[in-house]
Amino acid sequence: MNREELIRYLRDEGIDFEIVEHPAVFTVTEADRLALPHRQAHAKNLFLRDEKRRNYYLVTVREDKMLDLKALRMRLGSKALSFASAGELESILGVRPGSVSALAILNDKEHTVHFCIDSEFMGGLVAAHPMENTATLFLRTDDLIALIRQNGNDVTLL
């Protein structure tokens, strides 16, 4: 699913969202310079895998948080976690580095990626790239979780 397909899908599903166009950003620091709206919704996304490359995790946390991979591994009952490769990112989520987004999990047709999201987003908005890093989309966290579950992926609140 590319950007246009995603936006059409969200509209077809009746999902309300706001999209803000901007220059390409590759890091949270670059995104912060843009002064985007809905500061409380800003997120960082990590695509992780276990050491055997059997389990993949897409983790969305508030942008100002540090993520302890060892604690996350224990919470998930996983083997050691590390960042997935650019090739894994493209083949599984269909996006390139710098465009990792919670919405990219909709490209996981095998439903192998486990989604983990910071519970602080609950009841509010969450930011996500629409499959490319030249825009940021804001949608309700509940809607995002419903879409991911509808896609067939597991969801864990952190």
pLDDT tens for 35-79 read 788 989 999 999 999 999 999 999 999 999 999 999 999 999 999
Quote the CATH superfamily of domain 3-157.
YbaK/aminoacyl-tRNA synthetase-associated domain (3.90.960.10)
Under a CB-based contact definition with an 8 Å cutoff, are residues 52 and 79 in contact?
A: yes
Mean pLDDT taken over the chain: 94
pTM, whole model, 2 decimals?
0.93
Q: Which of 58, 41, 53 is nearest to 154 (CA)?
A: 58
Q: Residue 142's pLDDT is what?
A: 98
Under a CB-based contact definition with an 8 Å cutoff, are residues 104 and 148 in contact?
A: no
